[in-house]
Structure 1
Amino acid sequence: MNSLPLSNVACHENSPYSQAPEVAREQASARSLSFEQRHCLAAEAHQWLRQGIAHYQQGQYTSALSLLQQALRTYHSLRDRRGEGRVLITLTRLYYHLADYLWALDTARQAQRLAQQVGDSHMLHQALSYLGNSYRHLGNLSQALDYGHQSLTLARQVCDRTAEMCSLNNLAMVLRAQGQPQQAIAYYAQSLALARQHQERQIEIQILQNLGNTYRALGDAQNVLETYGCLLKLSTGTAAPPSAPIDLPTLGYILQTLGHACEQLGEYSKATQYWQKALALCQKLGDGRREAEILEHLGNNHDISAKTTDSLAHHQRQPDTTPLPSTLILQQD
């Protein structure tokens, strides 16, 4: 994702908290307002926040940032710490989505401080999660691991199972990046068990993808086949209860991964079935490059299957001259 549009707007001098004189004037003005005026100002801030979220969801990042900054300054002037924190988390999500990880760290730290001040565990967990994930993307794995453990501890303290499964998944990604795949698999397994227990199907799909990719990196074709087989059932709605469908390119990736795994295990007939489904999908998407790759795999599988069939036929035509063991000869009576 290209982050230039956001970076151009979000230069240092435009940071909401860098405009100290303006914020000070707003705070002084807010203190002199009546209750009704403060209520109206809070309603405006809430509306700016909602509009900012809507623009973000529509991909209009520059206007989203402007609206969110307005909301943040207003909540700050009203000393509404919870409102301020909600905006900071939304800004963090926006920066993270656009891969502006340094800005995500900045706003997440501010959200962390506010969450600790007002005792909002949900906001604090979100801030800790974004801090850990941003540090992971920036390559600071020790910090990522530290924040990951903090978020997991908090989730368990407040018995938030959804937050716990997300923290376990995030920690697994850090451990995998550190070159500890077996530990990563253990964390993924815990996260997956929680997702299944609470029927969080969309989260289950994400965890299965991460777990399957870890097995694939290890060359563990059998576990890749099992993991991606579960993923295929969930993503196509053949599992009960049905899950939210995934996008077609991801479905194509799943089918191709299953095809590769079957080939590694020597199950060429099954591999051909997966490749044929992947081929139909690529043709539907108009992806010529992947279509050519899949056709090559289908051709190779056909050649291998033909050779295997010829070999079996040749073997069956040969007379069996192997002498029977004496025990079998005695049983011919």
Structure 2
Amino acid sequence: MRFPIPLLSLLTFTALTLPLAPGPWSLVPNALAQTETPDAQKAEADRLFQQGIQQYRVSQFREALQSWEQALTLYRQIGDRQGEANSMGNLGNAYHSLGNYELAIDYYNQALGLEREIGNRAGEGNLFFRIGWSYSFYSQYQLAIEFFDQVLQIAQELGDLEKEVAAQYALGWVYDDLGQRQKAIDFYSAALLIVQETNDKYQEASILNGLGWVYTALGENQKAIDFFAKQLTIAHEILNRQQEANALNGLGFAYAQLSKYQESINFSEQALSIHREINDIREEAYALGDLGNAYASLGQYQKAIDYLMRCNYSGLKN
């Protein structure tokens, strides 16, 4: 099965941020921090926290872990509970990115306890979301659903439409993975209504992609083509190459299901070109696989073999 690309704003694991302290950062080594004043310790903690964010953004996950662990120690020393909660949440993000979902969930739960102690409902919602997403990577979908349901409840309570959309999208993703297609369609459709009202074109494109893949799984490939085509139109409108390539991938796959192999090849070749341009290796493999399958269906077996041997095919489709 092929899965939709997550929403950028909330489904990716973006490091939590803290307000920057005014003035220059302290460069006092952490080992000496206990001898400094609380203000100096906070400045050093904030510096380490921001350093971890920069490291995380360039995929230096182990280095980010070290920075956030040092920041966590300092925040604990000065009794900064929000700094402690944010550091723990980011440690969870780093472990998630390293594939250690069990440890990620442990840190998220510790951070959740602190957010509840502080009374930060928005922070609770963020952590519920991250815990749910980690459980989905574990394939523990019922647990993931429970946490996403709580995110949805908090988002509606706070009137946070962005998080409401993210929760609905995540629930659609999980129900799709469970094979409960109608529930997936219901959640995706609810999210789609909100983003159309708020004119959030990027999120709209992502949700259209999700709906397209649900309908391919149902065998309703013409409906899927309609959704992918709408996504492609929006991608051109907002000049987003990633969305454009994802839509083209979907169109290539759906046309192949209708045995329209030349159309499938045309779309998949366009997708392949963009995936290479933006260095999206995973989706490049999907496009190569689709091209291999299409050429095999046309009886052009050498071309099919060439494409299939060039893609990291194992584990991407089943």
What is the CA-CA distance between 1:48 and the residue it aligns to? 0.4
**Equivalent position of 2:248 in the other structure:** 255
Please tell me whether residue 159 in structure 1 is matched to residue 169 in structure 2.
Answer: no
Change (3 A) 1:245 1:156: same
3-state SS of 2:90 partner? helix
Measured against aligned partners, the alpha-carbon deviations of 1:245-277 in whole angstroms (never above 9, x if no partner) come to 317xx71x5324313423544667755653563
Provide TM-score, normalisation by structure 2: 0.72
Which of 213, 238, 241 matches 1:245?
A: 241
**Equivalent position of 1:274 in the other structure:** 267
Distance of 1:49 and 1:95 partners within structure 2: 16
> What are the equivalent positions in structure 2 for 1:111-122 lying under 5 Å apart?
111-122=111-122
**Equivalent position of 1:75 in the other structure:** 75
Measured against aligned partners, the alpha-carbon deviations of 1:126-163 in whole angstroms (never above 9, x if no partner) come to 10001111122223222212111111100000000001
What is the CA-CA distance between 1:187 and the residue it aligns to? 0.2
**Equivalent position of 1:229 in the other structure:** 229
Change (3 A) 1:292 1:224: closer
Distance of 1:205 and 1:198 partners within structure 2: 13
**Equivalent position of 1:137 in the other structure:** 137
Change (3 A) 1:295 1:125: closer
Q: Unaligned regions of 5+ residues in structure 1, if any?
A: 1-25, 304-333
**Equivalent position of 2:24 in the other structure:** none
CA contact (8 A) 1:115 1:123 kept: yes
3-state SS of 1:168 partner? helix
> What are the equivalent positions in structure 2 for 1:15-34 lying under 5 Å apart?
none
Distance of 2:227 and 2:124 partners within structure 1: 32
Measured against aligned partners, the alpha-carbon deviations of 1:277-326 in whole angstroms (never above 9, x if no partner) come to 347658878979966963874797799xxxxxxxxxxxxxxxxxxxxxxx
CA contact (8 A) 2:191 2:207 kept: yes
CA contact (8 A) 1:89 1:123 kept: no
What is the CA-CA distance between 1:124 and the residue it aligns to? 0.8
Q: Unaligned regions of 5+ residues in structure 2, if any?
A: 1-29, 301-318
Change (3 A) 1:62 1:256: closer
Distance of 2:79 and 2:183 partners within structure 1: 44
> What are the equivalent positions in structure 2 for 1:241-320 lying under 5 Å apart?
242=238, 244-246=240-242, 251=245, 254-265=247-258, 270-271=263-264, 273-275=266-268, 277-278=270-271, 294=291, 297=294
CA contact (8 A) 1:205 1:234 kept: yes
Who wins on radius of gyration, i.e. which is larger?
1
Distance of 1:58 and 1:80 partners within structure 2: 27
Change (3 A) 1:203 1:283: closer
Distance of 2:63 and 2:118 partners within structure 1: 29
Provide TM-score, normalisation by structure 1: 0.69
**Equivalent position of 2:85 in the other structure:** 85
Distance of 2:116 and 2:285 partners within structure 1: 52
What is the CA-CA distance between 1:176 and the residue it aligns to? 2.2
**Equivalent position of 1:49 in the other structure:** 49
* Matched residue type, 1:178: L
Change (3 A) 1:53 1:267: same
Change (3 A) 1:181 1:83: same
CA contact (8 A) 1:101 1:137 kept: yes
Distance of 1:264 and 1:289 partners within structure 2: 15
3-state SS of 1:185 partner? helix
**Equivalent position of 1:40 in the other structure:** 40
What is the CA-CA distance between 1:65 and the residue it aligns to? 0.5
> What are the equivalent positions in structure 2 for 1:179-190 lying under 5 Å apart?
179-190=179-190
CA contact (8 A) 2:45 2:70 kept: yes
* Bigger mean CA deviation after superposition, 294-303 or 173-182: 294-303
Measured against aligned partners, the alpha-carbon deviations of 1:76-101 in whole angstroms (never above 9, x if no partner) come to 11111111111122222222223221
Q: Between the two structures, name the one with larger relative contact order (CA 8 Å, sep ≥ 6).
A: 2
Aligned length: 265
> What are the equivalent positions in structure 2 for 1:201-240 lying under 5 Å apart?
201-235=201-235, 238-239=236-237
Distance of 2:296 and 2:137 partners within structure 1: 39
Measured against aligned partners, the alpha-carbon deviations of 1:48-105 in whole angstroms (never above 9, x if no partner) come to 0000010111111221110000001111111111111111222222222232211111
* Bigger mean CA deviation after superposition, 294-303 or 136-145: 294-303
* Matched residue type, 2:224: V
Change (3 A) 1:53 1:292: closer
* Matched residue type, 2:108: A
CA contact (8 A) 1:132 1:148 kept: yes
What is the CA-CA distance between 1:206 and the residue it aligns to? 2.9
CA RMSD of aligned residues (A): 3.3
